[in-house]
A and B are shown apart, each in its own frame.
Chain A
């Protein structure tokens, strides 16, 4: 499978616990994104990497959230001291862009439930 892969698909955690999600991107795409999707809404941008550099963070990304992309390959998103408001679908996407075309593919998502 050469698409974007996310792990785990589902995570249930108790409030206050830390969680970490992983994204394995399409290898040819050097741009990697994390989005969050709450119920009834479209995905919202959280953060963006170009290779290993984290170049942009949304205001939605509180200081409890941290993302890494070591060596410009897979990426991890960690949420510390989870809150019930963190319950959402977390989507990873990769993008390849030229002047004439854009390819943007998403992984299957990690559905987080904080109880």
Chain B
């Protein structure tokens, strides 16, 4: 069974500073995918970034980058130059391995609440 652990219930960061949100995962599969989503108070889940387990380069999307350390089974999200609008819940998720026949459902962590301080 897959498991996602986010050990930081809440984080504070000063505006314009960088912040790292931790995510560790547990799987015995070799092929998997990792996601980060942002959930503002409105409730929608906004896709931020994706990393495939076979991708050799860390994924980047604008101010978001994923620090993927496969041997340590960690997939931390780094947000550079934090903005007030970054205040939200952040969820790490894992997709089932690619096999052609799976459901590919996502397993989520419990989330980290990020607060950006002016």
Contact = CB atoms under 8 A, between A and B. Distances in A.
B37 A106 contact: yes
Nearest to A109: B43
Contacts of B44: 106-109
Given A97-B98, A97-B104, A102-B95, A111 B43 contact: yes
Contacts of B110: 40-42
B50 A55 contact: no
Given A33-B105, A56-B103, A106-B37, A42 B91 contact: yes
A101 B37 CA distance: 16
A42 B109 contact: yes
B14 to A, nearest CB: 26
B43 A104 contact: no
A95 interface: yes
B43 A48 contact: no
Nearest to A91: B45
Given A108-B42, A109-B44, A111-B43, A42 B103 contact: no
A102 to B, nearest CB: 5
A87 B45 CA distance: 18
Nearest to B44: A108
A43 B104 CA distance: 14
Contacts of A106: 37, 44-47
21 contacts: A33-B105, A33-B106, A35-B106, A41-B110, A42-B93, A42-B108, A42-B111, A43-B108, A44-B108, A45-B107, A48-B105, A55-B103, A102-B33, A102-B52, A102-B104, A104-B47, A106-B37, A106-B44, A108-B44, A109-B45, A111-B43
